[in-house]
Amino acid sequence: MVETGLSSNRECRTKQEEEDDEQDFSPDIGVNGSVQTYRPVIFVVMMQSILVILGSAVGGGLRYLVYTWLPTVEHALPAATIVVNLLGSLALGVVTGMMINSGNESHSLYLLLGTGFCGGFTTLSAFSIETLHLVQSGHPVMATVYVAITVIGGVLAAAIGLIASRALAS
């Protein structure tokens, strides 16, 4: 038996058990549910991470371009953040809807476009800080309007994206 040393309440494991964990394999499930190949879990996770990273890089880069195109006006609604969050919600609605409507629920495509691109393009953190800045600078009504536009508008944009995807699928 080999002591893992991770925690006093963890059980002792044999060398064979540790080697078996290193050889953990995950099935690559096809669209019809059949097992196509076996790949090590670490390989699958790394490939999925690369898809998210690539999508995030493109989305984040595009968000930066939107911020350079739309000027920031002190004590005004943050137009660039509103634009990226509403467009990102619309895009995520379209991506989600197209995958559902086509029957091609590709996890990899969703990681690239949904989690990666839309996640990198939109920004909850900037929205939060800008809202707090509006409140702290004496503009609570404007902050409330900003929250309403972003939250309600984001949900409506996502719904429009889902509806539009149905039209695109037919």
| pLDDT of residue 116 exceeding 90 | yes
Q: Tell me the C-alpha distance between 165 and 170, whole Å.
A: 9
What pLDDT, in 10s, does the model give residues 51-77? 999 999 999 999 999 999 998 888 789
Rounded to two decimals, the pTM is 0.74
pLDDT, average across residues 8-25: 48
Residue type, 146: Y
- The closest alpha carbon to 97, from 33, 169, 156, 154, belongs to 169
Q: Find where tokens 């994206």 sit.
A: 161
- The closest alpha carbon to 66, from 51, 85, 92, belongs to 85
- For residue 42, give the H/E element and its range: helix 41-69
Beta strands in the chain (DSSP E): 25-29, 35-40
Q: Tell me the C-alpha distance between 112 and 23, whole Å.
A: 27
